[in-house]
Chains A and B, each alone.
Chain A
Amino acid sequence: MIPPAFEYLRPKTVPEAVALLQQHGDDAKILSGGQSLIPMMKLRLARPSHLIDINRISGLAYIKEDGGFLKIGGLTREAELEGSDVVRAKYPLLLDTATVIADPQVRNLATVGGNLAHGDPANDHPATMLALGVQIVATGAKGARVIAIDDFFVSLFTTSLQHDEILTEIRIPSPPPRSGGAYVKLERKVGDFATAAVAVQLTLDDKGAVQKAGIGLTNVGATPIRAKSAEDALRGKKLDAATIGQAAQLAADAAQPGSDLRGPAEYKKGLIKELTKRALTRAAERAGK
């Protein structure tokens, strides 16, 4: 399957890339890792007239702690997250997520920015970033602006990025002491999209009660879903079986899955309940360490 023809453009800087987006309008697309876009082009699900390849722009791939955030450049590859010492030491939720995305070859090219900007609720990072409460930096003609992750996912394959904006950075708030996270995914086989998955990020107080909780759900709706009522139900409570069970039920209630090849909707709701229990338990263990 050879994709339809397009014009290929290779800017050297972000402003150049933005100018190209403005010049070529709605049919121009950014080529980042290409691991979602190229398969879609082969299937004619995407037919961009122009591809703007940002892979040669230097300074867009980095992972660094700075000013109370872990800052991840938009062009950072999934494999770089897996190999990062700071991610391994302090961001277990991110590490869990990066290691279950597709397979090693795909992770060598696929970018964190692309995983989010694609706006696919079946991707793994969106739920993770909802649970972590991150900020997205979008760079356009007028410079950079910050978008709260809660305002980022609009509908299926649609984010609040403007047409002439590029996702240049993700800012993850540095977790306070007694924090931990986990991503638990059920997939039919390695490399598949999630049948369902749950991302949890917790911060406990010095008595072991939940101070802060973030819960994100993968592939059970038109957008990635933040399970707010489940988060609220956890606040101030110790994570005993009853509390975990109640939050898991609320997370399942927040899911809006459809029935498809990966299973009927009711099954997926049940799955969210169980995966939430597991993710909460694992996150709490990690927070307690």
Chain B
Amino acid sequence: MAKKELIKLKINGKEREAAAEPRLLLVHFIREALGLTGTHVGCDTSNCGACTVIMNGKTVKSCTVFAVQADGAEVMTVEGLLQNGALHPLQEGFKEEHGLQCGFCTPGMLMSTYALLQKNPQPSEEQIRWGISGNLCRCTGYQNIVKAVQFASKKMAQGGK
């Protein structure tokens, strides 16, 4: 067994650290070492996007990054969306517009669309669809997910953060 490396990172604003073998994937580190189970493992083959997190401001598939690579990074997961107990406009949008059924893809969808709205607060429908092109949903269909993002975009423009 290769020696463990100490990994320190800032996740959802908090400094955390844990030791891990270099081969440990970031998604397992987040779920098992840090106990944040909001991030899901779907395909484990870099296809579905359920494991999407934001690393240093960019969305990545955490099943295709080693935890050691995130040493020193700032990471945001779906748990980071809730602010003082209030749902983020995107979370509200998914709820109001029926943007989920089983909810398995939702954490990844939320991270991809959060990053999209940070970069482009008023995306067109086409831009939203390209923005979630690395995230698969097996039950809702994309129509309501697009609506959920439009809901959030509107709400955030009105000062809802």
Contact = CB atoms under 8 A, between A and B. Distances in A.
A34 B65 contact: yes
Nearest to B22: A8
Interface stretch (A102-110, A153-161, A205-213): A102-110
A2 B134 contact: no
B24 interface: yes
A104 B120 CA distance: 14
Given A104-B59, A104-B112, A191-B47, A38 B64 contact: yes
Interface of B: 1-2, 5, 21-25, 28, 44-47, 49, 52, 58-61, 64-66, 68-69, 112, 130-131, 133-134
Contacts of A51: 22
B2 A6 contact: yes
A109 B49 contact: no
Contact of A103 (B49, B58, B68): B49
A174 interface: no
Which one of B52, B68, B69 has the highest number of Cβ atoms from chain A below 10 Å of its Cβ? B69
Contact of B61 (A3, A79, A106): A106
Contacts of B66: 8, 31, 34, 38
A39 interface: yes
Given A42-B44, A191-B133, A191-B134, A2 B60 contact: no
Contacts of A10: 68
A53 B70 CA distance: 12
A1 interface: yes
A243 interface: no
A55 interface: yes
A260 interface: no
A33 to B, nearest CB: 9
B23 to A, nearest CB: 5
A7 interface: yes
A39 B68 CA distance: 16
